[in-house]
């Protein structure tokens, strides 16, 4: 074979190999570029009702007051058995009345004396035997005697303590025959005309549901959560606890013979709310979110026809456990990347991961 022909054949073979190698390399790169990634998708759904919440509660009395005398003296009678129920108006304690009765008699005598003196001065004044100043002094003495008698009678009434309302004797603080000073508590009373349930609601939960009404509420003992009793909303604090950042909310129920509750008992309160706090929102898994609060959040939306994903900006309204409530241009039924969202890029081709079969 001529040398020139051999040279042409070698050159052609080398060119063919290089051409084949070049084509293979480009194909490989292209295949790697367009090879779809399998991802887990989640459907954009409606916001759950968020209509029922359960809170631990503590049973309390409507009010607790310390009973005390407004005068000082020695206790001579008490009817303050701890734990007893008492009716409004019942005599609970008495201090020695004799010194106060003597005081009333003394002031009554002084009043009578000042009245006689005033009558005498008035007659003398009519006869122009005394000056106007003497008459004025007699009148003042009589008026002061009236005041002193009223004060003495009032102090006498303060020697007996009566139940200010239907109550339970929570604690007896002073024993009978003890000397008590005015203002010293002798017993603690609890108003149990209603049963109060105190719960603490987190600030974020109260704020999110501030404009929603309570549809119904019920309470149960922690020892028997199968039986629930209806309760009514009473009030709530408008300032949070500085440590726990929770608001105290109070519910109440009428006392029940079949439910013996005492202040301090542990219970559970279940509250159902009306409507939805996010009527225009949608829900996606928390893992779908990309971005942050400073730069803004987004999700990768999957296009079923093109198999491509594109990022859509959203506003996070609320996060609850493992899902997020969003507002924005997302539509119900659309699918978003639920796992591996941080590895996505615009117009990236993906396929839904169906799991092991």
Q: Give the pLDDT confidence of 151-189 residue by residue, as tens digits.
A: 999 999 999 999 999 999 999 999 999 999 999 999 999
pTM exceeding 0.75: no
CA distances (Å), origin 42, targets 5, 39, 95, 339:
66, 10, 77, 9
Is residue 96 within 8 Å of residue 73, measured between CB atoms?
Answer: yes
Over the chain, what is the mean pLDDT?
Answer: 87
Helices (H) and strands (E) counted in the chain, each on its own, are 4, 24
Q: What is the CATH number of domain 52-61+194-273?
A: 2.40.30.170
Higher pLDDT, 84 or 18: 84
Helices (H), 164-308: 203-208
- Rounded to whole angstroms, how far apart are CA atoms 140 and 122? 13
Sign of CA dihedral 281, 285, 290, 293: positive
pLDDT reported for residue 248: 94
Neighbours of 240 (CB within 10 A): 17
Higher pLDDT, 223 or 282: 282
279-352 is a CATH 2.40.420.20 domain: yes
Parse the chain into domains and list their residue ranges: 52-61+194-273, 71-185, 279-352
- Rounded to whole angstroms, how far apart are CA atoms 323 and 46? 11
Q: Give the pLDDT confidence of 9-54 residue by residue, as tens digits.
A: 444 454 454 454 455 455 444 444 567 888 999 999 988 766 788 9
């Amino acid at each position: 074979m001529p040398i020139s022909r051999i040279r042409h054949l070698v050159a052609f073979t080398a060119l063919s190999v290089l051409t084949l190698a070049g084509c293979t390399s480009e194909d490989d790169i292209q295949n790697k570029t367009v090879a779809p990634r399998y991802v887990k998708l989640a459907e954009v759904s409606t916001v759950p009702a968020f209509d029922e919440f359960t809170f631990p509660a503590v049973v309390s009395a409507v009010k607790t007051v310390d009973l005390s005398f407004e005068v000082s003296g020695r206790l001579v009678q008490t009817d303050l058995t701890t734990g007893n129920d008492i009716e409004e108006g019942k005599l609970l304690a008495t201090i020695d009345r004799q010194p106060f009765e003597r005081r009333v008699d003394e002031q009554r005598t002084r009043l009578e004396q000042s009245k006689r003196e005033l009558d005498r001065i008035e007659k003398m004044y009519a006869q122009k035997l005394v000056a106007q100043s003497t008459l004025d002094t007699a009148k003042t003495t009589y008026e002061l005697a009236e005041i002193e008698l009223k004060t003495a009678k009032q102090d006498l009434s303060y020697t007996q303590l009566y139940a200010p309302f239907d109550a339970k004797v929570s604690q007896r603080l002073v024993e009978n025959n003890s000397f008590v000073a005015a203002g010293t508590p002798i017993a603690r009373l609890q108003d149990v005309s209603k049963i109060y349930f105190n719960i603490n609601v987190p600030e974020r939960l109260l704020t999110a549901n501030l404009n929603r009404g309570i549809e119904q509420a019920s309470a149960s003992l922690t020892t028997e959560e199968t039986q629930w009793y209806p309760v009514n909303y009473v009030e709530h604090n408008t300032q949070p606890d500085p440590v726990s950042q929770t608001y105290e909310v109070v519910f109440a129920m009428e006392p029940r013979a079949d439910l013996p509750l005492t202040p301090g008992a542990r219970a559970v309160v279940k509250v159902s709310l009306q409507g939805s706090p996010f009527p225009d929102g949608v829900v996606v898994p928390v893992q779908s979110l990309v971005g942050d609060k400073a730069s803004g959040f987004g999700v990768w939306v999957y296009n079923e026809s093109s198999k491509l994903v594109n990022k859509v900006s959203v506003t996070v309204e609320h996060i609850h456990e493992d899902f997020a409530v969003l507002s924005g241009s997302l539509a119900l039924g659309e699918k978003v990347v639920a796992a591996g969202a941080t590895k996505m890029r615009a117009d990236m081709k993906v396929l839904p991961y169906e799991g092991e079969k």
